[in-house]
Amino acid sequence: MYDVIISGGGPTGMMLASELRLHDVSVLVLERDSEPNPAVRSLGLHPRSIEILDQRGLLDRFLAAGTRYPGAGGQFAGIVPTRPVTLASTHDYILGIPQPVTDRILTERAAELGAEIRRGADVTEIEQDADGVHVRLADGTEADARWLVGCDGGRSLVRRQLGIGFPGDAAATEWILGEVQATMPTEELTAIVAEVRQTHRSFGIGPAGDGLFRGVVPAATVAEDRTVPPTLDEFRTQLRAFAGTDFGVHSPRSLTRFTDATRLADRYRVGRVFLAGDAAHVHPPLGGQGLNLGIQDAFNLGWKLAAAIAGWAPPGLLDSYFTERHPVAEDVLTLTRAQSELLSVEPGPRAVRRLLTELVELDGVAEFLAEKIASTGIRYNLGDGPRLLGRRMPDLPVAGGRLYDLLHDGRGLLLDGTGALSVAGWSDRVDRVAAADAELDAPAALLRPDGYVAWLGDDQADLDIHMQLWFGPPD
Ligand SMILES: Cc1cc2nc3c(=O)[nH]c(=O)nc-3n(C[C@H](O)[C@H](O)[C@H](O)COP(=O)(O)OP(=O)(O)OC[C@H]3O[C@@H](n4cnc5c(N)ncnc54)[C@H](O)[C@@H]3O)c2cc1C
- Ligand 1 nearest atom to the CA of residue 8, by list position: 34
- Mean pLDDT of the 59-80 span: 83
pLDDT band at 210 (very low <50, low <70, confident <90, very high): confident
What is d(CA 377, CA 312) in angstroms, rounded to the nearest whole number?
29
pLDDT band at 6 (very low <50, low <70, confident <90, very high): very high
Quick check: 72 pLDDT over 70?
no
Q: Radius of gyration over alpha carbons of the chain, in Å?
A: 23
CA distances from 208 to 168, 247, 249, 380, 405 (A): 33, 15, 14, 38, 34
- Report the separation in Å between the CA atom of 278 and the middle of ligand 1, taken as the mean of its atom positions: 6
Helix (H, G, I), strand (E, B) or coil at 164: coil
Determine the pLDDT at residue 437. Answer: 61
Closest C-alpha residue for ligand 1 atom 14: 42
Q: Is 31 in the pocket of ligand 1 (CB under 6 A)?
A: yes
Quick check: 439 pLDDT over 80?
no
Quick check: 338 pLDDT over 70?
yes
CB atoms inside a 10 Å sphere around CB 469:
16
- Mean pLDDT of the 130-150 span: 97
Are residues 151 and 10 in contact, defined by beta-carbon separation less than 8 angstroms?
yes
- Mean pLDDT of the 220-240 span: 91
**Hey, which of 278, 295, 373 would you mutate to test ligand 1's pocket, going by the most ligand atoms within 8 Å of its Cβ?**
278
Q: Is 41 in the pocket of ligand 1 (CB under 6 A)?
A: yes
Alpha helices in 286-399 (DSSP H): 290-310, 320-343, 347-359, 365-374
**Hey, which of 291, 292, 293, 373 would you mutate to test ligand 1's pocket, going by the most ligand atoms within 8 Å of its Cβ?**
291
- The string of pLDDT tens digits covering residues 371-425 is 999 999 999 999 998 999 999 999 998 887 899 999 999 999 999 999 999 999 9
Alpha helices in 34-130 (DSSP H): 47-55, 59-65, 99-112
Cα dihedral 151, 309, 273, 334, rounded to 10, equals -60
- Mean pLDDT of the 160-167 span: 98
- Mean pLDDT of the 20-38 span: 96
Record the pTM: 0.95
- The string of pLDDT tens digits covering residues 257-308 is 999 999 999 999 999 999 999 999 999 988 889 999 999 999 999 999 999 9
- Ligand 1 nearest atom to the CA of residue 277, by list position: 26
- Report the separation in Å between the CA atom of 321 and the middle of ligand 1, taken as the mean of its atom positions: 20
CA distances from 37 to 41, 68, 91, 130 (A): 10, 24, 28, 35
Determine the pLDDT at residue 74. Answer: 64
- Report the separation in Å between the CA atom of 392 and the middle of ligand 1, taken as the mean of its atom positions: 25
